[in-house]
Amino acid sequence: MNRFPTLSTRRLHLRAPQARDLDAYAAFYADADASGWYGGPLRRDEAWRQLAQEVGHWHLRGFGVWTLVRKDDGRVIGATGLHHPEGWPRHELTWWLVPHSRGAGYAAEASEAVIAFAINTLGWPAVETHILDGNIAAHRLARRLGGEVIAREAFPDGHERDVYRLATNETAGEAIGERPGEASTTQREGSA
Amino acid sequence: MTGMAPVIDTARLRLRAPRLKDFGPYAAYYASPRAVWEDGPLDMARAWKEFASGAGLWSLRGYGSLSIEDRATGAYLGETGIYHPAHYLEPELGWMVVAEAEGRGIAREAAIAARDWAYRVRGLPPLLNYIDPRNLRSIRLAERLGARHDPAAPVPEGEGPCIVMRHPGPEEIAA
């Protein structure tokens, strides 16, 4: 029984993180500017722990982040998924890309597939994310995904964040998966 | 693929894959001064990283952390298992028990079961512990498990003060 579902979009395969993704994790977390919003920068051994933690999240929660693999050349370019550490007040849609893969719409493409999975397969009523004020790129992407700010809250790390609702099971049908060529398909490997 | 983690029963204990509900008592242990030799005390976010990365090891390496459950009551007593983050040079046998499980030989019983599983099922070479030299309690338990100080073994970079205790290998245990 495989508990790690895969997703597919026009340009990307989404699969659970694996040990061979370490180079991409290390490359992202070595980029202080971008990874600073995600607890970085991290040394390579710390990036490995981050990778192991993401895998463990799947084991413990039954959902997590997927590794993004380009269909055309097989390169690992980042991660997108659903994150909810125990003790943290809200789940979030999260994403990151290695430096050379930004600005090409990959995060939005992967996010739409993940949102559709959360609503259609996990049965979530809504998908959220919460973002620190200075992370301009993330705010832009949240709005591009149809996100609306539904709250502003202080989180356990002492920082306030805007909370976005990205899609609900009422809005997902119109917002996601209905553009030609961008519809996401979901399959589970083996029996669920 | 949590199915890769075994269920191991001992006289008093059940070792099994970590579950979400174990995290409360796990985080309470790491928040307490008792975790001072385990890089603690840790806040909940850091404790989650430790907890989840131990669980994730099962997919990445085929071994990892195991929760210790009281067979009689189902209570969570702590964690043991085989730890191997990127900068470790070899797999480590580890253990921790919550305050209520102290002084009853729980860590010893659990660690022996995890060690024997690692040898028998995974065929791992003689395991070690990286231990802070001031953590006398843990050094004593390692000694009770038959481990000896291994001054020749290299220490991982960035681990701070650390000695290596080397456990008996499978042949030594069988003899």
Cβ of B2 within 8 Å of Cβ of A59? The answer is: yes
In chain A the first and final C-alpha atoms are separated, in Å, by 6
Query: What integer pLDDT is reported at residue B161 of this predicted model?
Result: 87
Cβ of B56 within 8 Å of Cβ of A52? The answer is: yes
Q: pLDDT digits over B63-113, tens only? A: 999 999 999 999 999 999 999 998 899 999 999 999 999 999 999 999 999
Give the phi and the psi of residue B20 in degrees, each rounded to 5: -55, -40
Dihedral, CA of residue B162, residue B163, residue B169 and residue B174, to nearest 10: -120
Query: What integer pLDDT is reported at residue B160 of this predicted model?
Result: 80
Cβ of A59 within 8 Å of Cβ of B48? The answer is: no
Going by pLDDT thresholds of 50, 70 and 90, the confidence category of residue B174 is confident
Cβ of B49 within 8 Å of Cβ of A88? The answer is: no
Going by pLDDT thresholds of 50, 70 and 90, the confidence category of residue B40 is confident
Residue A191's Cβ-side half-sphere holds a number of Cα atoms within 13 Å equal to 1
Cβ of A52 within 8 Å of Cβ of B53? The answer is: yes
Any idea what DSSP says for residue B113?
H
pTM of the model: 0.91
Residue A7's Cβ-side half-sphere holds a number of Cα atoms within 13 Å equal to 31
**Run means of pLDDT, 10 residues per run, chain A, 192 residues:** 84 97 96 91 95 97 97 98 96 96 96 96 96 95 96 96 89 50 39 32
Give the phi and the psi of residue B32 in degrees, each rounded to 5: -90, 160
Q: Which residue of A43, A48, A54, A59 is the best one to mutate when testing the B interface, meaning the one whose CB has the most B CBs within 10 A?
A: A59
Q: Which residue of A60, A63, A159, A188 is the best one to mutate when testing the B interface, meaning the one whose CB has the most B CBs within 10 A?
A: A60
| Contacts A50 to B, Cβ<8 Å | 49, 53
Q: pLDDT digits over B122-172, tens only? A: 999 999 999 999 999 999 999 999 999 999 999 998 878 899 999 999 999
Alpha carbon of A187: minimum distance to chain B alpha carbons (Å): 17
A150 inside 8 A of chain B by CB: no
Q: pLDDT digits over B27-38, tens only? A: 999 999 989 888
pLDDT mean across residues, chain B: 94
Burial grade of B54 (CB within 10 A; 0-12, 13-18, 19 or more): buried
Query: What integer pLDDT is reported at residue B106 of this predicted model?
Result: 98
Judged by CB atoms within 8 Å, which residues 94-123 of B form the interface with A? none
The residue in chain A having the minimum alpha-carbon distance to the alpha carbon of residue B23 is A86
Query: What integer pLDDT is reported at residue B2 of this predicted model?
Result: 42
Query: What integer pLDDT is reported at residue B39 of this predicted model?
Result: 81
Query: What integer pLDDT is reported at residue A173 of this predicted model?
Result: 54
